[in-house]
C-alpha cells in the first residue's frame, strides 16, 4: 500500500501543466466556497444575535394568558420569579418589563404600538438598544426630560416628530378606563433589525395602569450565548411549570428557521461549487487514464491486481482534489480572518436596503472548527466520487492488448 501511495503521488505531477490547471481551479472554487460559507454563516448568526440582543433576549417569561392578546391583566409578581432565579444560581441578566398596547399620537399621525415600561439600568444589561441612539438623537430614558420616551426612527418618521417633540400614549388600564399620558421624545434609535417598540420609564407609567405593587408582564433573560440558552431553557421550563417560558426561537420562528438551516445552506452552497468542479476533475483523470493505457496494461500484465490499480487511480484523484482544496480553504480562511472583527460593510453598494428587511448591513464572517471539518470532508467526498468513473475505466483495460500495442 505504501508503494501505491507513493506511485499515486508521483503520477499526479507527471503532467505539471494539466495538474496545475485543475489544482488552480479547485483552489479557486474552494476559496470562494470557504469565504461564502463564512460570510453566509456570519450574516445569519449576526441577524439572529441582533434580534436577541435588541428586543427578544434569549428567554422570556410571561403569564400563560399574556401572549394570546397582550391583556394588561395577565401579569405576574416580580419578586416571585426573581427569588426563584436567584435561588437557582443561574448566571444570567434579567430585566422585568410592563408591556402596554395602545395608540401613540402626534399632531400629524397616530399608530398602534406596544410600550415597554422598564427600569433603565436593568434594561441596559439585557438589551443593547441604547447603543443604537446616535449622540444627535438624544439618550436612553434620560433624566434631563420629564416623561421621556424612546422610539424608533421608523416611528418618528411616521409621526413626523423629532427630539423633544410631544407625543401622547393612550392605553386601557386594568379597570377598562382609558389613560392618556403625554411624553416627550427623549431618544430615537436606529437598529439594523426591524425593532420598532417604544420604551418608557417603569416609574412614569406604572401608577396609571391600576396594577398591584410588584406586577410586571415580562421577564427578559439574557445568557452568554445560544448554546447556553439551549441548556438553561429546559431548566427554566421545569422551574416555572405554571408560566409561559419561551426561548428566542419560539418568540421569533422566522429567525429560528434561518438559524436551523445555517449549516445546511453552507453545505449546500459548497456542494454546488464542488459539483461543478467534479466535472473538471473527472475529465482530467479520464485523460490521464487514457494516456496511460499501455502503462496500466503493463502493470496488470506483470501482476498488479485490479484492486491495486483501482486504489491507485482513486488515490491520484483524492490527492489532486485534497491539495487544491486545502490551498483554497487556507486562502479563504486567511481572507476571512481579518474580517471576523472588522466586518464587511455592505452599505457602499446596497445602502440601507438590507436593514429594511431586518438584516444587518455589516456582516461579520464566522469561521470555526466544525465548518472547516465539514468543508474538508466534502472535499474528500467529492474527490472519491470523482475518481470512481476514471478508476472503473482503468479496470476495463486488457493487459494483453496493451502489450501488443507496444
Q: Is residue 19 part of a domain?
A: yes
Instruction: Give the pLDDT of residue 292.
Output: 74
Give the cell for residue 367: 469561521
Q: Above pLDDT 70, what percent of the chain?
A: 93
Give the cell for residue 117: 415600561
Q: Is residue 81 part of a domain?
A: yes
Instruction: Give the pLDDT of residue 113.
Output: 94
User: What stretches in the chain show pLDDT beneath 70?
Assistant: 1, 192-195, 348-361, 397-406
Domain identity same for 45 and 93 = no
Domain identity same for 194 and 270 = no
Domain identity same for 168 and 198 = yes
Give the cell for residue 185: 421624545
Domain identity same for 134 and 217 = yes
Among 222, 251, 274, identify where a domain stops.
222
Q: Is residue 247 part of a domain?
A: no
Give the cell for residue 343: 466586518
Instruction: Give the pLDDT of residue 314.
Output: 85
Sign of torsion over alpha carbons 68, 205, 210, 77: positive
Instruction: Give the pLDDT of residue 174.
Output: 95
Domain identity same for 267 and 344 = yes
Among 222, 243, 274, identify where a domain stops.
222
Among 222, 242, 270, identify where a domain stops.
222
How far is the C-alpha of 232 from the C-alpha of 222, rounded, in Å? 11
Domain identity same for 45 and 164 = no
Domain identity same for 87 and 167 = yes
Instruction: Give the pLDDT of residue 1.
Output: 67
Give the cell for residue 362: 455589516
Q: Is residue 237 part of a domain?
A: no
Q: Is residue 255 part of a domain?
A: no
Instruction: Give the pLDDT of residue 355.
Output: 59
Instruction: Give the pLDDT of residue 118.
Output: 96
Total domain count, the chain: 2
Domain identity same for 138 and 198 = yes
Domain identity same for 274 and 172 = no
Rounded to a whole number of angstroms, the CA Rg of the chain reads 31
Residue identified by cell 416609574 is 203
Q: Is residue 248 part of a domain?
A: no
Q: Cβ(283)–Cβ(19) under 8 Å?
A: no
Domain identity same for 69 and 205 = yes
Domain identity same for 288 and 181 = no
Range of the domain at 384: 2-51+260-405
The 10s digit of each residue's pLDDT in 315-362 is: 888 888 888 889 998 998 898 888 888 888 777 665 555 555 556 667
How far is the C-alpha of 297 from the C-alpha of 343, rounded, in Å? 56
pTM listed for this prediction = 0.76
Residue identified by cell 401608577 is 207
Q: Is residue 189 part of a domain?
A: yes
Instruction: Give the pLDDT of residue 344.
Output: 83
In this structure, the strands spanning 59-62 and 218-222 are: antiparallel
In this structure, the strands spanning 93-105 and 218-222 are: antiparallel
Q: Is residue 254 part of a domain?
A: no
The 10s digit of each residue's pLDDT in 97-148 is: 999 999 999 999 999 999 999 999 999 999 988 888 998 899 999 888 899 9
How far is the C-alpha of 307 from the C-alpha of 114, rounded, in Å? 71
Domain identity same for 70 and 42 = no
Amino acid at each position: 500500500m505504501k508503494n501505491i501511495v507513493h506511485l499515486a503521488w508521483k503520477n499526479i505531477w507527471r503532467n505539471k501543466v494539466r495538474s496545475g490547471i485543475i489544482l488552480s481551479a479547485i483552489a479557486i472554487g474552494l476559496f470562494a466556497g470557504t469565504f461564502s460559507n463564512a460570510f453566509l454563516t456570519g450574516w445569519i448568526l449576526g441577524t439572529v444575535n441582533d434580534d436577541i440582543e435588541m428586543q427578544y433576549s434569549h428567554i422570556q417569561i410571561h403569564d400563560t394568558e399574556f401572549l394570546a392578546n397582550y391583556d394588561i391583566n395577565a401579569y405576574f409578581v416580580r419578586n416571585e420569579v426573581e427569588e426563584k432565579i436567584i435561588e437557582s444560581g443561574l448566571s444570567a441578566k434579567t430585566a422585568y418589563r410592563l408591556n402596554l398596547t395602545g395608540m401613540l399620537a402626534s399632531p400629524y399621525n397616530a399608530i398602534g404600538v406596544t410600550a415597554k415600561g422598564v427600569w433603565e439600568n436593568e434594561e441596559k444589561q439585557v438589551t443593547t438598544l441604547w447603543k443604537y441612539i446616535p449622540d444627535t438623537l438624544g439618550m436612553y430614558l434620560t433624566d434631563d426630560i420629564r416623561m421621556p420616551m424612546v422610539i424608533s426612527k421608523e416611528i418618528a418618521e411616521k409621526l413626523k416628530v423629532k427630539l423633544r417633540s410631544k407625543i401622547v400614549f393612550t392605553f386601557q388600564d386594568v379597570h377598562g378606563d382609558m389613560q392618556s399620558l403625554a411624553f416627550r421624545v427623549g431618544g430615537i434609535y436606529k437598529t439594523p433589525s426591524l425593532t420598532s417598540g417604544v420604551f418608557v420609564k417603569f416609574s412614569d407609567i406604572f401608577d396609571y395602569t391600576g396594577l398591584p405593587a410588584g406586577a410586571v408582564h415580562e421577564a427578559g433573560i439574557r445568557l452568554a450565548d445560544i448554546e447556553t440558552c439551549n441548556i438553561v431553557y429546559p431548566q427554566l421550563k421545569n422551574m416555572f411549570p405554571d408560566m409561559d417560558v419561551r426561548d428566542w426561537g419560539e418568540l421569533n420562528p422566522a429567525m429560528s428557521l434561518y438559524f436551523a438551516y445555517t449549516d445546511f445552506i453552507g453545505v449546500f452552497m459548497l456542494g454546488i461549487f464542488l459539483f461543478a468542479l467534479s466535472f473538471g476533475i473527472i475529465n482530467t483523470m479520464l485523460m490521464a487514464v487514457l494516456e496511460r493505457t499501455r502503462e496500466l496494461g503493463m502493470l496488470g500484465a506483470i501482476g498488479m491486481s485490479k484492486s491495486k490499480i483501482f486504489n491507485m487511480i482513486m488515490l491520484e484523484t483524492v490527492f489532486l482534489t485534497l491539495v487544491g482544496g486545502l490551498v483554497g480553504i487556507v486562502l479563504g480562511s486567511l481572507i476571512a480572518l481579518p474580517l471576523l472583527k472588522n466586518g464587511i460593510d455592505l452599505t457602499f453598494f446596497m445602502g440601507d436596503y438590507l436593514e429594511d428587511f431586518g438584516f444587518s448591513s455589516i456582516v461579520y464572517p464566522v469561521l470555526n472548527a466544525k465548518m472547516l471539518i465539514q468543508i474538508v470532508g466534502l472535499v474528500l467526498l467529492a474527490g472519491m466520487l470523482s475518481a470512481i468513473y476514471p478508476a472503473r475505466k482503468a479496470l476495463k483495460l486488457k493487459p494483453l492488448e496493451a502489450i501488443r500495442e507496444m
